[in-house]
Amino acid sequence: MLTVDQAREQLLAAARRITETETLALNDALGRVLATDVVSTLAVPGFDNSAMDGYALNVADFSAPTAFRVVQRIAAGDTGSALAPGEAARIFTGAPVPEGSNAVAMQEDCNVETTTLTVNTRLQPGQHIRRRGEDVQQGAVVIQAGTRLGAAELGLLAAVGVGQVAVVRKLRVALLSTGNELVEPGSPLAPAQIYNSNRYALSALLREAGCIVDDLGIVPDQFAATRDILADAAATHDVVLSTGGVSVGEEDHVKAAVESLGALSLWKIAIKPGKPFACGRIGDADFIGLPGNPVSSFVTFIVFVRPFLAARTGRDAPEPAIRVPAGFTIERAGNRREYLRARLVDGRVVLFPNQSSGVLTSVVWADGLVIVPEAATVREGDPVDFLPLATLN
């Protein structure tokens, strides 16, 4: 039996980083992984500028307030000329302060009579002036390779004048479900059949993780069909992800099919939910087999597959757990690490009443997963690790 940490470590060690990149315009790069460090060729801001609408001043003596003579007007996009002591320039937010400026007064604090300006407040040297390079220094690495590009990152790339970026190509993932009992939603159910829910949840999780997903549907519980589909999928994808068919039951053909085509390890991992987990290789593709229970496949995706996919694109994607007080007591957990479906209520995490791995409503209800360490006792009020599901994009 592997611990969660051992299993994740082995999996990440086996993740081959893909090196193909593509160059995209900024608006097309949302959610993508930056391929190379971006170094700024310029300082941001590129010039000392006004943080306010008001007046740029050349103050001769900050201890003795005086009147200023307004000699010019500088809008954003304009440049002014140097101010002599006692001179002022009408200025707007973002406009360059002229040479000689040593403070900006907000217009709300100013009285102007024709060209004579008085300031109602005490002036501080440098006030309301944003300095060149305050945000980004020329030559600085603004975003590192391996970073997922969100809204702020795209804004910063634009701010340093970068209009196109090299990003890692998307992973191509083939998704398979196995099980004679599975029926597609929208079709009628015969006795003993169930609807295939993993297919839809995992396709969404994969897309949220930035992958191109080819959903190959349900393969029957037959060795030859399973093998043929796996071979085709492996030839055209980086990763083949399957659910069901990896337990020790006699009805599982996926194990034999993968072994006939490549190599497979069946791991027993000390995790709840989600014990059976398979990983291996078919040609140049990774194979990952998740449990068939919908909650188990969801949790094992988050705990193992998501970091594995991130590592393949060179992205660092740790579990962003936060520590919060428990709103429950567990007298002594089992010897597996448990990922319980939970919600934050008034600053404490509370558990969904039914933590069975068959109960998908628990995941819909949950804001996140409480991580209960192996054999731990948790008492109400103890700090526990909570993994918000919304942070996993």
Site for its own copies in 326-365 (CB under 8 A): 344, 347, 354, 356-361, 363-364
For position 139 contacting its own copies by CB under 8 A, the verdict is no
Figure out which of the listed residues 158, 224, 345, 375 binds its own copies, where binding follows CB under 8 A: 158
Both tokens assigned to 92: 């707007």
Number of CB atoms found within 10 A of residue 223's CB = 13
Site residues for its own copies, window 48-87 (CB under 8 A)? Answer: 51, 53, 75-79
Element holding 231 (H helix, E strand): helix 223-236
232: which DSSP letter? H
Piece of 81-89, 182-190, 224-232, 256-264 that binds its own copies (CB under 8 A): 182-190
What's the rounded Cα separation, in Å, for the pair 310 and 15?
Answer: 9
What totals of helices (H) and strands (E) does the chain contain, helices first? 8, 26
* Per-residue tokens: 45: 């801001």
DSSP label of 136:
B
Q: Give the nearer residue to its own copies in terms of CB position, either 196 or 313.
A: 196
Residue among 193 and 260 whose Cβ is closer to its own copies = 193
Q: Does 323 bind its own copies (CB under 8 A)?
A: yes
Closest CA to 35 of 24, 45, 25, 21: 21
Report yes or no: 178 and 244 within 8 Å, Cβ to Cβ.
yes
What would the two tokens of residue 46 be?
């590129």
- Residue from 203, 260, 265, 355 that binds its own copies (CB under 8 A)? 203
| Cα 197 to Cα 355: distance, rounded to the nearest angstrom | 18
Site string for its own copies, 232-271 (x = CB under 8 A): ---------------xxxxx--------------------
| Residue 134 within binding range of its own copies, rule CB under 8 A | yes
Which DSSP helix (H) or strand (E) runs through 152? helix 151-159
By rule CB under 8 A, what count of residues binds its own copies? Answer: 103
Residue 153 interacting with its own copies (CB under 8 A): yes
Footprint of its own copies on 114-133 (CB under 8 A): 130
- What does the H/E/C string look like for 344-364? EECCEEEECCCCCCCCCHHHH
From 4-12, 25-33, 60-68, 119-127, span contacting its own copies (CB under 8 A): 25-33
For the segment 367-386, give every residue that binds its own copies (CB under 8 A).
367, 383
Angle at the Cα of 275 (from 318 to 267), degrees rounded to 5?
A: 85
Rounded CA separation 279/271 (Å): 16
Contacting residue, 119, 157, 311, 342, with its own copies by CB under 8 A: 157
Q: Which stretch binds its own copies (CB under 8 A): 57-65, 144-152, 331-339, 373-381?
A: 144-152
Q: Is 42 in the site for its own copies (CB under 8 A)?
A: yes
Our CB check for its own copies shows the closer of 68 and 386 to be 386
Q: Is 288 a binder of its own copies (CB under 8 A)?
A: no
Within 298-317, the residues that bind its own copies by CB under 8 A are 298
Q: How far is the CB of 96 from its own copies (least distance, A)?
A: 5
Residue 294 CB, nearest approach to its own copies (Å): 6
Provide the minimum distance between the beta carbon of 135 and its own copies in the complex, in angstroms, as a whole number: 5
Region for residue 389 given its phi and psi (left: phi exceeds 0; alpha: psi -120 to 50; beta: otherwise): alpha
**Closest to its own copies by CB, 84 or 248:** 248
In angstroms, give the least distance from the CB of 283 to its own copies.
27
Q: How far is the CB of 161 from its own copies (least distance, A)?
A: 5
Nearest Cα to 182, choosing from 253, 251, 256, 244? 244
Q: Is 226 in the site for its own copies (CB under 8 A)?
A: no
Place of tokens 């996993």: 392
Distance (Å, rounded) from C-alpha 289 to C-alpha 280? 9
Candidate residues 48, 87, 221, 238; the one interacting with its own copies per rule CB under 8 A = 221
Q: How many residues belong to the chain?
A: 393
